[in-house]
Amino acid sequence: MIIDGKVYDLTSFISMHPGGPAMISQYCGKDGSTGYATKDKPNPQPHSARADALLPQFLIGNLAN
């Protein structure tokens, strides 16, 4: 998944996602920046500081231009 220009391999986290696997799997191989920023809710809600702290361990690299 791409989030803000960075590529993440969230494969090992999909089954542990608090919102369920479908919330992540819909963005596999795609840009999930908006979904991550809003949690796909009508009233956008940012992810928690805990979620932000977990992301770096799944970082593969930056998206090439």
Q: CATH number for the domain including 28?
A: 3.10.120.10
Identify the pLDDT of residue 3.
96
d(CA 52, CA 16): 15
Comparing 4 with 64, the larger pLDDT belongs to 4
Single pTM value for the model: 0.88
Give the strand order in the sheet containing 6-8. Answer: 2-3, 6-8, 59-62
Residue 63 is encoded by which pair of tokens?
A: 């998206």
* Mean pLDDT along residues 56-60: 97
SS3 letters for 15-26?
A: HHCCCCHHHHHC
Q: How many structural domains comprise the chain?
A: 1
d(CA 2, CA 24): 11
Comparing 8 with 19, the larger pLDDT belongs to 8
> Which residue segment(s) compose the domain that 50 sits in?
2-62
pLDDT tens by residue, 16-51: 999 899 999 999 999 999 999 999 888 898 899 999
